[in-house]
């Protein structure tokens, strides 16, 4: 008899009413995959952007689709070609976004996308790390190649990605400016930001000769960021493809980053966490049957860290 599990799925694109809690078959791992019993998942804005169908031209997901692409959990079965992990390992992952996600009691993930979770982090904290921290890592380390002593502006330092970006930029020895509202000033300074700019009151575009801008907002925020950079500076956006003509006119190298799964980077992040150098702040926690509320919180744009779904005890 097929064993069933609970999973939050969509069978069409739209508002939060398309989310349904289904009983579906527990998947079987392929030769290069592991089956993970999910402890916690985390919500990222991409989850509700996919739910709305906004990314369908790019991802072409088949339906029904299980949402959620961040997780912590325990390995409960392994494919026959997997030798990097064993049953019972406590792991975390940002799995392939083109496949079924982690708002489910079990998920199969390619072993190369899975790492042992930081031992000092709770299941909830660990689930909050992969997608947001890999995004910050790949944007700041792989693409912008931030160096010690460089001056960087990180937009939305109080957001999930922004919080990891502040900490990773400081670990590289950069000087960090960040935008947020007054409510979050203490939060971003505690994470290590050197200066917090209240974007409701102050004009961040008065900053000059920066080395790097990390754009997590797009629109006017990106448009007003060009003039803050020095010639030869770098702009990395994770929300909107930067205009190459404007970049050329300003002598700036501009990039778009779309985060990719990466086991080695998850291992390096776990080391930072266990060394006490990287913190995860949790904004709120929900049960698997409360995903709609969790999406509502994420869609508000006011989250102050990770939104967690507690899947199993
Ligand atoms: N390309 C990729 O691979 C990738 C990966 C991850 C995320 N993303 C995208 O990156 C964006 C950020 O993701 P996230 O998870 O960090 O979001 P998030 O956690 O939901 O961000 C919420 C934070 O943004 C701040 N904020 C909102 N508007 C702001 C503004 N105009 N200026 C400064 N801060 C502002 C809010 O602070 P206040 O309440 O103080 O305003 C809040 O703390 C999303 O659009 C997401 O889809 C892309």
List pLDDT tens digits, range 26-76. Answer: 999 999 999 999 999 999 999 999 999 999 999 999 999 999 999 999 999
161 CB within 6 A, ligand 1: yes
Q: How far apart are CA 260 and CA 238, in angstroms?
A: 12
162 phi-psi bin (left φ>0, alpha ψ -120 to 50, beta other): alpha
Q: Quote the ligand 1 centre to 160 CA distance (angstroms).
A: 7
Name the pLDDT band for 293 (thresholds 50, 70, 90).
Answer: very high
145 secondary structure, DSSP code:
-
Q: Which residues pair with 284 in a beta bridge?
A: 307
Please count the helices (runs of H) and the strands (runs of E) in the chain: 10, 16
> Which residue carries 């203490």 as its tokens?
186
Look at residues 43, 34, 65, 5 and name the one whose alpha carbon lies nearest to residue 291. 43
Mean pLDDT (the chain, rounded):
98
> Which residue carries 């049960």 as its tokens?
287
CA 109, chain centre distance (Å): 17
88 phi-psi bin (left φ>0, alpha ψ -120 to 50, beta other): left
End-to-end CA distance of the chain: 25
Full set of structural domains in the chain with CATH = 4-129+280-310 (3.90.180.10), 132-256 (3.40.50.720)
Ligand 1 atom closest to Cα of 306?
Answer: 19
pTM over 0.85: yes
Name the pLDDT band for 307 (thresholds 50, 70, 90).
Answer: very high
259 CB within 6 A, ligand 1: yes
Look at residues 219, 180, 187, 222 and name the one whose alpha carbon lies nearest to residue 201. 180
Q: How far apart are CA 75 and CA 136, in angstroms?
A: 26
> Which residue carries 């590289």 as its tokens?
172
229 CB within 6 A, ligand 1: no
């Amino acid at each position: 008899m097929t064993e069933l599990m609970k999973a939050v799925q969509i069978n069409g694109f739209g508002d939060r009413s398309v989310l349904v809690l289904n009983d579906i078959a527990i998947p079987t791992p392929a030769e290069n995959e592991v089956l993970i019993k999910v402890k916690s998942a985390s919500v990222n804005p991409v989850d509700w952007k996919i739910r709305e169908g906004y990314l369908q031209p790019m991802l072409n997901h088949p339906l029904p689709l299980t949402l959620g692409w961040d997780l912590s959990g325990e390995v409960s079965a392994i494919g026959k070609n997997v030798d990097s992990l064993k049953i019972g390992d406590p792991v975390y992952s940002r799995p392939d976004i083109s496949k079924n996600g982690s708002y489910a009691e079990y998920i199969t993930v390619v072993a190369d996308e899975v790492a042992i979770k930081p031992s000092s982090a709770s299941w909830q904290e660990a689930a909050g790390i992969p997608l947001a921290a890999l995004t910050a890592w790949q944007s700041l380390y792989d693409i912008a190649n931030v160096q010690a002593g460089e001056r960087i502006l990180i937009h939305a330092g109080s957001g999930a990605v922004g919080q990891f970006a502040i900490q990773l930029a400081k670990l590289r020895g950069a000087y960090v400016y960040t935008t947020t509202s007054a409510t979050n000033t203490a939060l971003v300074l505690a994470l290590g930001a050197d200066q917090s700019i209240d974007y409701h009151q102050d004009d961040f575009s008065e900053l000059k000769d920066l080395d790097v801008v990390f754009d997590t907002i797009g629109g006017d925020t990106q448009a007003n960021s060009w003039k803050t950079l020095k010639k030869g500076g770098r702009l990395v956006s994770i929300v909107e493809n930067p205009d190459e003509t404007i970049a050329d006119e300003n002598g700036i190298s501009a990039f778009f980053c779309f985060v990719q799964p990466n086991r080695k980077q998850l291992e390096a992040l776990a080391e930072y966490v266990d060394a006490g150098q990287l913190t995860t702040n949790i904004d709120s926690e929900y049960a698997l049957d409360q995903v709609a509320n969790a999406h509502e919180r994420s869609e508000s744009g006011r989250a102050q860290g990770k939104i967690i779904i507690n899947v199993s005890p």
